[in-house]
Every structure is written in C-alpha cells, then in structure tokens.
Amino acid sequence: MRPGRKKPARARASRLQRTNYKWIYLFLLPTVIIFAMFYVVPIVEVFVTSFTQWDGFNAPRFNGIRNYINLFNSHSFLTSLKNLFWWCVIAMTLHVGFGTLVAFVLFHRPRGWKVTRAVFMIPNVISAAAWAMIYRFIFNDDIGVLNSLIRLVNPDFSVDWFYVSPWAFWSVTFTWLFYAVIVTLIVLGDLLNIPQELTEAARIDGATGWQLIRYVHLPLCRTAIGTSIICSLTSRIAMYEQIALTTAGGPDYETVSLPILLVNAITDYRYGYANAVGVLMFLFGLVILWLVNRLFRMDETDY
C-alpha cells in the first residue's frame, strides 16, 4: 500500500477525535459553570473586597492595603502565624509520621492487625467538633480523666490544661495529633499497589525487612506521603473547631489560628479585614502545595 493512501484514514480519525472533544466539552460545561459560580467568583470577590472597608451591609469602600497593614501590626495575627508554623512542623513530622507508621504496620499484617485497624479507624469517624468536646472533659481540671490519674500519684496536682500557658498549645495539638487515618489510608493504598515483582527482586538481592522498607517501599510511597503532608498542612491552616470549642484562641492568643481571627472579624462586622485573612490562608495553601510538589517530585512517576 502506498503511503499516501493513509492520509484519508488519518483525516477521518482526526475529525472523529474533534467530534468526541465537542461532546466532552458539552458534558463538562455544567461542571465548569458550577465551579465558576461557587468557587471562582467567590475567590475573586474575596481578593477584591480584601482591599476594602466593608461591614457587610453598606457598599465596600476601597482602602488600599490598610487591612493587610493592620493584620501584620496585630499581635494576635503574628501569634497565629507562629502557631501555624509550629503546627505545620508537628503535622508533617509526628502526624504524618504516625499515620505512615500505622500504614506500614497494617501492610505487613502482624498478629492482631485487624484489631489495630479497628481501634485506629473507629475514633476517626468522630467529627473534629465532637473530639474537641471530648477533650474538654479529658483535660478538665476537676473531673478530667488525665488529672484524676495524675492525682493517684500526686494528690495536690492541679492544671487547667486548656487555659494555662504553655499547656494550652499542646492540649489543642493533642486533639488532632494522633488521628491520622487519612494519612494511613493514602499511604496504605500506595503500599498495596507496589508490584510484587519489585519486592521479590529485592529479596532475591538479599534485602532484609528494614532494607525493603527503607529502599523499596518508602521511596515508592513518596507521592502518597507528599499528598498526606498537603492534606495535613492545609487542615492546620483551616483548623477552627478544635480551637473554638476548647480555648477560643486563649490564653492571651496563645492558641489563636487564622480561622479564629477570620470568624472574629466577621462577628465584628469587619468583612474586608476577614477577607484579607482569607486571602492569606488561600495563598499559604498554594505555597504549601507548590513546595510539597517540588520537594517530593510528585509530578514524576514511581515505576
């Protein structure tokens, strides 16, 4: 067959492909419209109104970068940035590390792994708000389980954990630190998808159990761990219920977060100021997404 006769077939295939694309675009159109209405437009409005003085009732009045200047001159905002930094450090090390450790334990299926899975999974179905209320009773000075156990050794012990510095920060941190079921599920999914041939080849080459984890399994879970870090860090940016229902940001703004500042500003009818906080939260999320993608090379394939 002469090469020139292939052109009509290619042209038909190209026309068919363009026709299929039209149908794809048509079916995607409702999703694009909904996404634009409920995400793109509100985000644009948040950015625009963050440069205004707005009480939510009267028309926004442009005031330049005054809201951002007020933010960076605010003690509570600077404290929230410090808290966010330390919570992010704790999240991407202890929180993600603990969830990854549990994933590897479940993957190797030791004796009692089903009980471990159930015990670890069940508490995570409880909402963050419910856990915050539970921890209020656990850390209660008078009737809390923690202080009651400590008083068995030291009868005079008395600490109101959520309201005394520096314990308030760590008390809030413990309301989410060891509840890493999302991390476990993401990493465990990647572990289960590792081709068995890779593990068998490593064993033939003499790799021990720890070497398998360090040189085979852990590197191949790079993308899952990076995804877990993104989820964990963005959750710390948006952390509200655990703080609002325990310390409300106190004592002396020691446990304040960006969402607490945002909600307080809305309550005070300072919508422009609140949207400035929202813009910074949005930008912090983008920076975290970019950094983790670069550090973990998440755009590269594993196999």
**What digits encode the pLDDT tens for the residues 87-122?**
999 999 999 999 999 999 999 888 888 888 888 888
Question: Residue 127 — very low, low, confident or very high, per pLDDT cuts 50/70/90?
Answer: confident
Residues 137-157 pLDDT 10s:
999 998 899 999 999 999 999
Of 182, 3, 212, 220, whose CA–CA distance to 96 is shortest?
182
Query: Quick one: pLDDT at residue 1?
Result: 45
Question: Residue 128 — very low, low, confident or very high, per pLDDT cuts 50/70/90?
Answer: confident
Query: In the numeric block, which tokens belong to residue 152?
Result: 């068995």
Average confidence (pLDDT) over 184-213: 86
Query: In the numeric block, which tokens belong to residue 58?
Result: 């009267």
Q: Is 124's pLDDT higher than 70?
A: yes
Question: Residue 300 — very low, low, confident or very high, per pLDDT cuts 50/70/90?
Answer: confident
Residue pair 280/65 in contact by the 8 Å Cβ criterion: no
Sign of the Cα pseudo-torsion (96, 230, 192, 112, in order): positive
Which helix (H) or strand (E) element contains residue 192? helix 181-192
Q: Is 59's pLDDT higher than 60?
A: yes
Q: Is 72's pLDDT higher than 60?
A: yes
Query: Quick one: pLDDT at residue 151?
Result: 93
Residue pair 47/68 in contact by the 8 Å Cβ criterion: no
Query: In the numeric block, which tokens belong to residue 40?
Result: 């793109």
Which helix (H) or strand (E) element contains residue 75? helix 75-90
Question: Residue 201 — very low, low, confident or very high, per pLDDT cuts 50/70/90?
Answer: confident
| Rounded Cα distance, 268 and 272, in Å | 11
- Count Cβ atoms below 10 Å from residue 21 Cβ, excluding itself: 10
| Rounded Cα distance, 221 and 186, in Å | 9
Cis omega (within 30 of 0) for bond into 166: yes
Query: Quick one: pLDDT at residue 12?
Result: 58
Cα radius of gyration (the chain): 26
Query: Quick one: pLDDT at residue 10?
Result: 62
Average confidence (pLDDT) over 224-239: 94
Question: Residue 257 — very low, low, confident or very high, per pLDDT cuts 50/70/90?
Answer: very high
Weakest mean pLDDT among 72-76, 122-126, 162-166, 227-231:
122-126
Residue pair 270/262 in contact by the 8 Å Cβ criterion: no
- Count Cβ atoms below 10 Å from residue 252 Cβ, excluding itself: 12
How confident is the prediction for the chain on average, in pLDDT? 89
What percent of the chain clears pLDDT 90, i.e. is strictly above it?
61
Angle, alpha carbons 263-177-139 (nearest 5°): 80
Query: Quick one: pLDDT at residue 16?
Result: 58
DSSP 112: T
Query: Quick one: pLDDT at residue 9?
Result: 58
Question: Residue 84 — very low, low, confident or very high, per pLDDT cuts 50/70/90?
Answer: very high
| Rounded Cα distance, 156 and 152, in Å | 10
Query: Quick one: pLDDT at residue 113?
Result: 84
User: Number of C-alpha atoms within 13 angstroms, CB side, residue 206?
Assistant: 0
Average confidence (pLDDT) over 45-49: 95
